[in-house]
Chain A
Amino acid sequence: QKEVEQDPGPLSVPEGAIVSLNCTYSNSAFQYFMWYRQYSRKGPELLMYTYSSGNKEDGRFTAQVDKSSKYISLFIRDSQPSDSATYLCAIKAAGNKLTFGGGTRVLVKP
């Protein structure tokens, strides 16, 4: 079993819809949770960072963390074609190493 599981998709949604992404993890020592967006042939871009259970909102993005279920989510409201990318969850315990999910490819159709 991988430490971080993420559905590879692709996830196809119409423009304006809500995109719902999630990851599950197995290591209860994980404390810090991040979501990255990666366009093809580019480096990942940090979207959201959180370390506690609950919700965190930033513009059209909302990150949710449920430590009791070891489950994290990212929601993108009012999705745009420019949101089409691969979204990677990344989690870490204390220390510096990130553990990545496999990434979910998202396609927002005009």
Chain B
Amino acid sequence: GAVVSQHPSWVICKSGTSVKIECRSLDFQATTMFWYRQFPKQSLMLMATSNEGSKATYEQGVEKDKFLINHASLTLSTLTVTSAHPEDSSFYICSANRDGSYNEQFFGPGTRLTVL
């Protein structure tokens, strides 16, 4: 149990386009999900906390208009990178708190984004 999936696993796009990444909790409900960014050989950096039915909470320095988050159901959160630029190329990982077990976070496999 406690499986989190992400789609796509990798994506290449042109500069200026938008890219949507999906995060799904497959076998549990998750009122709260998180989006992280990870650069090579570095640890995870929390970008935002996504709550079902309400606006996401962004960490300091993260542009909310550039990284749009929608948590439309208890099993799905999406991250849209708008007007992507090469500096947005990174590994994006989501995680989910299983409802009723708020201290354990389960991570998705990650999405590698390359912006040309």
- CA–CA, A92 and B32, complex, Å: 15
- Hey, which chain A residues are within 8 Å of B34, CB to CB? 96-98
Check if B58 is an interface residue, CB within 8 A of chain A: no
Tell me the total A-B contact number using a CB cutoff of 8 A. Answer: 51
Pick from B43, B102, B110: contact of A42, CB under 8 Å: B110
Check if B85 is an interface residue, CB within 8 A of chain A: no
Pick from A49, A88, A102: contact of B103, CB under 8 Å: A49
Q: Interface digits, B89-116 against A, CB 8 Å rule (1 contact, 0 not)?
A: 0010101010000111111111010000
Check if A17 is an interface residue, CB within 8 A of chain B: no
- CA–CA, A101 and B43, complex, Å: 7
CB contacts under 8 Å to A, within B31-73, are 32, 34, 42-44, 46, 49
- CA–CA, A46 and B3, complex, Å: 11
- CA–CA, A41 and B113, complex, Å: 12
Q: Is the interface of B mostly helix, strand, loop or mixed?
A: strand
Q: Is the CB of B97 within 8 A of A96?
A: yes
- Hey, which chain B residues are within 8 Å of A97, CB to CB? 34, 46, 49
- CA–CA, A51 and B104, complex, Å: 11
Q: Interface digits, A19-38 against B, CB 8 Å rule (1 contact, 0 not)?
A: 00000000000001010100
- CA–CA, A96 and B44, complex, Å: 15
B106 closest partner in A (C-beta): A46
- CA–CA, A100 and B110, complex, Å: 17
- Hey, which chain B residues are within 8 Å of A90, CB to CB? 105
- CA–CA, A1 and B43, complex, Å: 16
Q: Interface digits, A80-107 against B, CB 8 Å rule (1 contact, 0 not)?
A: 0000000010101000111011110000
- Hey, which chain B residues are within 8 Å of A36, CB to CB? 107
- Hey, which chain B residues are within 8 Å of A88, CB to CB? 43-44
Extra 8 A-B pairs, beta carbons < 8 Å, given A46-B105, A49-B103: A32-B103, A43-B109, A44-B93, A45-B107, A49-B104, A88-B43, A90-B105, A103-B43
